[in-house]
Amino acid sequence: MKAGFMKARIVTSLLSLVVVGSVGCSLGGLSTDRAAISRGDEVAQFKPIQPEEWRLENGLRVVYLKDDELPLVKGRLFIRGGSLWGPESPVGAVSAMGDQMRQGGAGGRSADVLDQELEELAATVSSSFSTEFGGVSFSSLASDVDKVFPIFADVALRPRFEGERLALWKGQSLESIRRRKEDPSTVASIAFTQLLYGDSPYGRVSVDRDIQAISRDLLVSLHHKFVKPDGGLLVVTGRIERPEVERLVQENFGGWNARGELLPAAPAVKREPQPGIYFIELPFSQASVQMGHLGVPRLTPDYPAIDMFNEVFGTSGFGSRLMQRVRTELGLTYGVYGGISPAVVQGVNYVFLQTKADSVAAAIQESIGVLATMQAAPPTEEEMEEKRTAIQNSFVLNFDSIDEIAVRNARLKLLEYPVDYDQTYLSKVAGVTPDLVQEVARTRWDPKKFVIVVVGNGTAYQRLESTLADKNSPLSSIPLRKLRFESAIVVP
């Protein structure tokens, strides 16, 4: 125990030094003007470094970048597949499988022994699966990588799925479901997703009966289905030489047999959502609103203009038009944001806000009004330059560390982005004009299709009802319906 504690202290101290050092470098000696010029030149000349890559005989790709800054080694195994290809019922089974790969023990180690051994090594191993891919990751001191890497491989390839840990996970999940109604933003988000996507892999929400139905046998079968080298990608970074990485990978993953089968295309979105205001009455003093409609897939030809639109419209905090108009000028909301969020098949255009019960109708109208102004006229050149600089600066932060560079490289490959995406992104953003941003507002948004979810008390409902009864209100033609929410809604 003592050795593990001391190693943890060493790792923590080293990480603290990195944080302090990076801040010192960013503030050192330059005047504001000179720093800004230097930053602009740096961004303009930015070229992301490229990791080394090779492939095993079973098809598993390996991405490697050496990093001597700290005596650490990190690894992430990305596996194609997730809940989009999981069973219709029980909902959440793929996510449970991903969690229990690590939590339920692995190889010859029980869950308790695995926890103890990793603690003594001051190492971490984690696992998870989401909608499109999942996998396992590890972090350890470079001196312990020979011990930790085989544990990492066991978690990926030989999970035990122990019953006690599965029971613990079920209890925690059921409690989380029970508490959903305590958070209005969670309620609004779940209802909005269900109303947009319906009974599909994109819209299903786990409830009590789903959690109860998840068994060890189901987790074993899902692991067999998804965890295969076909289409997989392993990232290794840190203070380790390539020959050592090649040896560890071959010893632990070289015998992993390929299946010769890849995932089919992601399921289509077949639902046509019904526009309207959907009200969920819960005893909150403020109203939470999520509204919008189905959006676009990833990497449409106008994706740089979409990113610029998002910055101007609603994703840049207090600098966005939504925040400036609805909060700063009118004081109608505690917070508001929105934009276009592309996804694998069909993403979401959204606006989220929280406001007083009395002002819910006005906040909705004004948020839609901000969109209308962007549809009517292009942003100013001053806005464009400000947002372009913000995008450039935040983009460069994706490459703050060697590990981030390698992981980003892997994710772009998994999501099938163009090989030159990072190399061309900044120049494409630089080429976005005000007219192209207006075109996004005009062609990618249609308020007539809006699904508007409102979570609030009886006062909020009365305000909406009276506003909709006013024929002069922009909301007067929108139907108002009440929904009941327990742990989810029943989609109309």
- Select from 253, 287, 311 the last residue of a domain: 253
CATH number at residue 466: 3.30.830.10
**Do 178 and 62 lie in a common domain?**
yes
Cα–Cα distance, 79 to 60 (Å, whole number):
10
Residue 16 lies in a domain: no
* Angle subtended at Cα 250 by Cα 248 and Cα 253, rounded to the nearest 5 degrees: 95
Cβ count near 34 (within 10 Å): 10
**Do 158 and 296 lie in a common domain?**
no
Mean pLDDT along residues 269-275: 93
Residue recorded with tokens 């909060």: 327
Residue 397 lies in a domain: no
Q: Is the pLDDT of residue 14 over 90?
A: no
Residue 224 lies in a domain: yes
pLDDT tens digit sequence for 118-146: 999 999 999 999 999 999 999 999 999 99
Residue 223 lies in a domain: yes
Structure tokens that stand for 483 in this block: 């929904």
Cα–Cα distance, 449 to 272 (Å, whole number):
10
Q: Is the pLDDT of residue 16 over 60?
A: no
Type of residue at 116: Q
Q: What is the DSSP letter of 327?
A: I
**How is the beta sheet containing 276-281 ordered, strand by strand?**
335-341, 348-356, 286-294, 451-456, 276-281, 480-483
**Do 222 and 285 lie in a common domain?**
no
User: Residue 310: which residues within 8 A CB-CB, separation 6 or more?
Assistant: 316, 339, 340
- Select from 253, 268, 288 the last residue of a domain: 253
Residue recorded with tokens 């309207």: 276
**Do 76 and 213 lie in a common domain?**
yes
pLDDT tens digit sequence for 33-83: 444 444 445 555 667 788 999 999 999 999 999 999 999 999 999 999 999
Which of 254-263, 286-295, 395-404 shows the highest mean pLDDT? 286-295
Domain containing 206 equals: 52-253
User: Residue 115: which residues within 8 A CB-CB, separation 6 or more?
Assistant: none
Type of residue at 402: I
**Do 188 and 298 lie in a common domain?**
no
**Do 65 and 200 lie in a common domain?**
yes
pLDDT interval class at 490 (50, 70, 90)? confident
Q: How many domains does the chain have?
A: 2
Q: Are 222 and 86 in contact (CB under 8 A)?
A: yes
**Do 249 and 289 lie in a common domain?**
no
Residue 43: what pLDDT? 55
**Do 247 and 326 lie in a common domain?**
no
Mean pLDDT along residues 465-477: 91
Which residue in 227, 229, 256 sits closest to 59, CA to CA?
Answer: 229
Residue 120 lies in a domain: yes
Cα–Cα distance, 194 to 206 (Å, whole number):
11
Which residue in 338, 350, 335 sits closest to 310, CA to CA?
Answer: 338
**Do 64 and 163 lie in a common domain?**
yes
User: Residue 79: which residues within 8 A CB-CB, separation 6 or more?
Assistant: 129, 133, 134, 135, 226, 227, 228, 231, 232
Residue 42: what pLDDT? 58
For a pLDDT cut of 70, what percent of the chain falls above it?
A: 90
Cα–Cα distance, 160 to 167 (Å, whole number):
14
**Do 243 and 312 lie in a common domain?**
no
Q: Is the pLDDT of residue 255 over 70?
A: yes
Q: Which helix (H) or strand (E) holds 111?
A: helix 111-120
Mean pLDDT along residues 286-314: 97
Backbone phi, then psi, for 484, in 5-degree steps?
-105, 135
Residue 472 lies in a domain: yes
Residue 146 lies in a domain: yes
Residue 15 lies in a domain: no
Type of residue at 18: V
**Do 245 and 308 lie in a common domain?**
no
Q: Are 320 and 312 in contact (CB under 8 A)?
A: yes
Lowest mean pLDDT among 60-64, 175-179, 444-448, 470-474: 470-474
Residue 360 C-beta-side C-alpha neighbours within 13 Å:
32
Q: Is the pLDDT of residue 3 over 70?
A: no
Residue 32: what pLDDT? 37
Residue 201 C-beta-side C-alpha neighbours within 13 Å:
20
Lowest mean pLDDT among 186-190, 292-296, 335-339, 408-412: 408-412
**Do 337 and 371 lie in a common domain?**
yes
